[in-house]
Amino acid sequence: MKTEKLSTIVDSLERAAATRSFSSAEPWNYGWSVQGYRDSPQAAMTHDAHRAVSLDRSGVAAFEQATNSLLRLPDIVACYDGEEFWGIMASLVGSLPIGDMRGEIERRVTRLVSPPNSLAVLPLANIAPFATPIRLGPVTVGPFDVSMAGRLEATGKATNKNPWWATATSENELTTVVAYESRAQSRLALREAEQAFDDVVAIALALEPDLDAMSLFSLRGDAHRPGTRGIAIDRAALSRMAKSVPEIRRELGADGIVLAASSARL
């Protein structure tokens, strides 16, 4: 990004941050993607674990100007989900230190525009367990074992540190996962990981000459096809059953892990 463009965006964010005041409202960073919320007197950003901040009208206008300018940049479009990006920007501005902050804003914006590759990890369903990971370019499919955990640790800080599928106590309980490395960040990284795995499954099926011999009579829908965890059945019924069988809660959905610049404090 050109230096003058970066400087203009930093100027806008500095003006926005200068109008912050501590607020008693409940912070909702993601809500800043909604115009009505930004215009609301209850609009607040997270400053730290215990405090929220709000912007005055001029601050909101400067925040919108900077965010919209960033969303027009090809690097931002390639790396972030547009709706989620507003929440990332709210986190960036809200958590800035009180006082002189221009240098910190420049550092955060530079990292936001040119982030390191992310690593998205998702648990899989309907996959027979196997010991040796399969690697296809940026895609790795295999058990979430010590080696996979070490790869996550080496990559950076996770958005979701302790999902149930990452806490197996024995090899028999290891969950099969897909890990995908890409430029995409946060929610966009998870979507691309899902698409990449679907592509791998489609290629594998296309190359199998005798699907019937492997009992692969039909893989339509979500019930039997390999995919990320969470199956398309009556979720209300599952919720009721989960009260007596806690393990069923795992099938109501499973969060993925994304290690990326926007995962940690920018």
Domain locations in the chain as residue ranges: 3-113, 118-259
pLDDT of res. 113: 93
Q: Which residues of the chain have pLDDT under 70?
A: 1-4, 154-162, 168-170, 215-225, 228-237, 251-254, 260-266
Contact by Cβ (8 Å): 250, 229: yes
pTM of the model: 0.77
Cα gap 170→82, rounded to integer Å: 40
By the 10 Å C-beta count (0-12 exposed, 13-18 middle, 19+ buried), 188 is classed as buried
Radius of gyration of the chain measured on its C-alpha atoms: 22
Residue range 235-248, pLDDT digits in tens: 666 777 888 887 77
Residue range 42-59, pLDDT digits in tens: 999 999 999 999 999 999
DSSP class per residue in 140-168: EEEE--HHHHHHHHHH--BSSS--GGG--
For 114, other C-beta atoms within 10 Å of its C-beta total 12
DSSP class per residue in 9-40: HHHHHHHHHHT-EEESSPP-GGGGGSHHHHTS
pLDDT of res. 263: 47
Cα torsion at 32, 35, 39, 45 (round to 10°)?
0
pLDDT of res. 3: 60
**Cα–Cα distances in angstroms (integers) from residue 7 to residues 2, 66, 136, 139, in the given order:** 9, 11, 40, 37
pLDDT of res. 37: 97
Of the CA atoms within 13 Å of residue 113, those in its CB half-sphere come to 21
